Amino acid sequence: MKTRITELLGIEHPIIQGGMHYVGFAELASAVSNAGGLGIITGLTQRTPELLAKEIARCRELTSKPFGVNLTFLPSVTPPDYPGYVQAIIDGGVKIVETAGNNPQKWLPALRENGIKVIHKCTSVRHALKAESIGCDAVSVDGFECGGHPGEDDIPNMILLPRAAEELKIPFVASGGMADARSLVASLALGADGMNMGTRFIATKEAPVHERVKQAIVAASELDTRLVMRPLRNTERVLKNEAVERLLEKERALGANIKFEDILPEVAGVYPAIMQRGEMEAGAWSCGMVAGLIHDVPTCKELIDRIMAEAEQLIRGRLSTLLG
């Protein structure tokens, strides 16, 4: 399948693995890239630019295909060493960066001068148009269904994607709620050039996370996610657990007076305990509604091959026969 995204990124299939904190290590990124998609290392999971440089080198040993690095720009009083991370990406010869969070404008000249393609992930048409206007090469449009931060507009992909298609000139991928061939074909029909998946890629053999995380996703239904931190305008979709119930109880009790410090025990630094040690009640962790569509733990190649084969059957079979 050829789309503007496969052409832009030099990949075989229009499937991207979005950056994921404590999930997007070299093992997963290389497995997705080796399967013909685009794997992405999560920059900030590496505590320093030096460690990111090592992770990039490790990924390059595991694949000769293109892969990317995610750089998430968080609002922070003491920001991470972004110039250092950008330099590690440039020096590591990475040619694709997924940006997310705040406007990436400040970092675009350095990235683009080094021939790096930038895909900005955003949750509204407004932000997608902004990304286009500042020179991003593509956008990843993340609907309300998504795991992680869906923004504050709450527009599901059935509306958000065709709206993005109406407005954007640059290529875009559909993100949030994507799991299988049906997701891919629907995304293409709605005007996207491919799809980005997060939660689905956690439940794969190569994802370097604890087995209990994968099983929690397989066991979860589409009813099992919750939105936290909405009163702080930092909404995150997470899988429900005891810590999330506690957090939501604090939100109800404190109302508009809630501060980030009130929920630190449930959200700060909890990813290593959950992802690496499988302590499933340790805190809130991002997970999409799409968990309801995830029933197995295949290899990345099995998953991507299945998606592409079934997408072809859907297009050549069911859809074309509807036309008689």
Q: Which residues lie near ligand FMN (CB under 6 A)?
A: 18-21, 23, 42, 70, 72, 100, 121, 142, 145-148, 175-178, 196-200, 285-288, 290
Nearer to ligand FMN, 269 or 317 (CB): 269
d(CA 236, CA 228): 5
Nearest distance in Å: CB 40, ligand FMN: 8
| Shortest spacing between CB 252 and ligand FMN, in angstroms | 25
Smallest gap from residue 76 Cβ to ligand FMN (A): 13
Look up residue 305 and give its two tokens: 């091959």
Give whichever of 153 and 323 is closer to ligand FMN, judged by the CB atom.
153
CB nearer to ligand FMN: give 19 or 92.
19
Instruction: Name which of 69 and 258 has its Cβ closer to ligand FMN.
Output: 69
At its nearest, how many Å lie between ligand FMN and the CB of residue 23? 5
Q: Nearest approach, Cβ of 27 to ligand FMN (angstroms)?
A: 15
Sign of the four-CA dihedral 16, 235, 129, 109: negative
> With respect to ligand FMN, which residue has the nearer C-beta, 18 or 36?
18
Please name which of 230, 262, 141, 261 lies closest in space to residue 190, comparing C-alpha atoms. Answer: 141
Smallest distance, ligand FMN to C-beta of residue 134, A: 18
Q: For ligand FMN, give the closer residue by CB, 74 or 319.
A: 74
Q: In sequence order, which residues have a C-beta less than 8 Å from that of residue 16 and are 6 or more positions away?
A: 5, 37, 38, 40, 68, 98, 119, 140, 173, 194, 195, 196, 197
The tokens of 89 are what? 């990406």
Nearer to ligand FMN, 78 or 321 (CB): 78
The least distance separating ligand FMN from the CB of residue 11, rounded to whole angstroms, comes to 17
96: closest CA among 142, 43, 148?
Answer: 43
Q: Which of 35, 146 has the CB closer to ligand FMN?
A: 146
Quote the strand ranges of 180-297, DSSP E.
Answer: 195-197, 225-228, 236-239
The answer to whether 251 and 258 have CB atoms below 8 angstroms apart is yes
Q: How far is the CB of 157 from ligand FMN (least distance, A)?
A: 9
Neighbouring residues of 207: CB distance < 8 A, sequence distance ≥ 6 = 23, 27, 28, 201, 214
Closer residue to ligand FMN in complex, CB, 37/176:
176
Distance between CA atoms of residues 40 and 17, nearest Å: 6
Residue 74: φ, ψ to 5°: -95, 150
Q: Number of C-alpha atoms within 13 angstroms, CB side, residue 77?
A: 1
C-alpha pair distances (Å), 309 with each of 64, 161, 199, 319 = 24, 24, 21, 15
**Residue among 238, 217, 197 nearest 297 (CA):** 217
Measured from each CB, the residue nearest to ligand FMN is 198
Nearest distance from C-beta of residue 303 to ligand FMN, angstroms? 13
Strand partners, 19: none
